[in-house]
Amino acid sequence: MRTTLEFDAPAAIDWGALEPYDTFLFRRIGDRGSWVLGVGVHRVVETPARMAGEGPSDWRFGVVSYAYRTRLEPLRSRLPDELGYPPAFWFVPEFVFAYDGRTLLGHALPGGEGAMRSLVLSLFREPTDGSPASLHGWRTRTSKQRYLTQCERLMEHIHRGDIYEVNLCITRETTAFGWDPCKGFQQLYAHTDAPYAGFFRLGERYALCASPERFLSVDGRDLIAQPMKGTRPRYADPGMDAQAAEELRTDAKERAENIMALDVMRHDLAKVASSRSVHVKELCGIRSVPRVHQMISTVTARLADEVDPYEAVLAAFPMASMTGAPKFRAMQLIDEVEDQNRGLYSGTMGYFAPDGTADLNVVIRTVFYNVRSGKASIVTGSALTAMCDPEQEWSECALKANSVIEALQ
């Protein structure tokens, strides 16, 4: 059993204090004004699901990469994952910190209270180094002409009814030996206000995530999924900004993309939900973060008896908003066409708590960085449908990438 201690609400976080730890995972749950942080590895676990005969439940933090789809469906990746993320990685942390907007609780393993107090002193304070951690020299792996050719190929499948929607992604990359990812996340987190942000380290690999999208939330037997499709830029002028949000809300093409992703999610959750419990709570709502407006729908469900919450994660993975419809055929075509192995991008990072709650995001708007190679990359995508304009889809990929790049300047 863990020892739980209460600490003063943190005014700031010095992410550099986590540098001595080879593994940690932070997740913000913005709609609840809360966050959780798992630090260090007590033990690695195969799955966050509870095993038969297991003792009291403990916190489990982890990630599932897009590559995990090959364990769920007869699919294979054409290209290697250059960053080397495992298909899935789950761990029980040494220390867990949970902040609900009012109270900061620290949870330590037996005998770890002193070390946790020391970590609190160095972690929850103003950063000692406030200098910027910029990344420059970004280049696009896929040329615009090649991207338009890829769009043309995929839209041929759409026009003959093979698929109805597919998410096509491109990579921007640079090299920056000695870059400080902890300082980088400090900037990204402060400047994007991303509701489902995350910061993950696994050895030499870092993922700095400014995600605006929730994949799945669990509260006991209740599930919430929030597929997101549709993006518009923000403007400093209030009138132009309001107009952009309204244009997004009424755009027939964006609504069609969102509803298709929603329908796939409803179908996926129905596989693990109790009868007639899957409902659409919100259709094509608009959420605004500092740099973009987003269109989000919300679907709720209740887990069927004897179904573990992690089964719901796997039933809906990879998420509809990052694949297409029908999902399996869309994933086949993605593997054939894209110029990168997505790795952790399009995957999820999150946690399962002992009280039966869990929250998992969609890994988008993310900087991936490898300390040893010095390589940094950002993958962005957009949905292709029969109504889309490939030129505009190229611009949407750039808009999403720039929302991250500019936050790091």
Residue 255's CATH number? 3.60.120.10
Asked if residue 186 is part of any domain, the answer here is: yes
Asked if residue 207 is part of any domain, the answer here is: yes
Asked if residue 265 is part of any domain, the answer here is: yes
Asked if residue 383 is part of any domain, the answer here is: yes
- The token duo for 95 is 């220390």
144 is catalytic: no
Instruction: Answer for the pair 170, 379: CB distance below 8 angstroms, yes or no.
Output: yes
The active-site residue, picked from 229, 338, 396, 400, is 229
Asked if residue 134 is part of any domain, the answer here is: no
Asked if residue 107 is part of any domain, the answer here is: yes
Residue-level pLDDT, tens digit, the chain, 409 residues = 899 999 999 999 999 999 999 999 999 999 999 999 999 999 999 999 865 455 558 999 999 999 999 999 999 889 999 889 999 999 999 999 999 999 999 999 999 999 999 999 999 999 977 677 889 999 999 999 999 999 999 999 999 999 999 999 999 999 999 999 999 999 999 999 999 999 999 999 999 999 999 999 999 999 999 999 999 999 999 999 999 999 999 999 999 999 999 999 999 999 999 999 999 999 999 999 888 899 999 999 999 999 999 999 999 999 999 999 999 999 999 999 999 999 999 999 999 999 999 999 999 999 999 999 999 999 999 999 999 999 999 999 999 999 999 999 8
229 is catalytic: yes
Instruction: Answer for the pair 383, 165: CB distance below 8 angstroms, yes or no.
Output: yes
The active-site residue, picked from 213, 338, 393, 396, is 213
Asked if residue 133 is part of any domain, the answer here is: no
Q: What is the pLDDT of residue 154?
A: 98
Start-end of H helices in 20-68:
none
Instruction: Answer for the pair 107, 98: CB distance below 8 angstroms, yes or no.
Output: yes
pTM reported for the whole predicted model:
0.95
User: Count of domains in the chain?
Assistant: 1
Give the Cα separation of 352 and 96 in Å (integer). 12
Asked if residue 132 is part of any domain, the answer here is: no
Residue 168 structural domain: 3-127+139-408
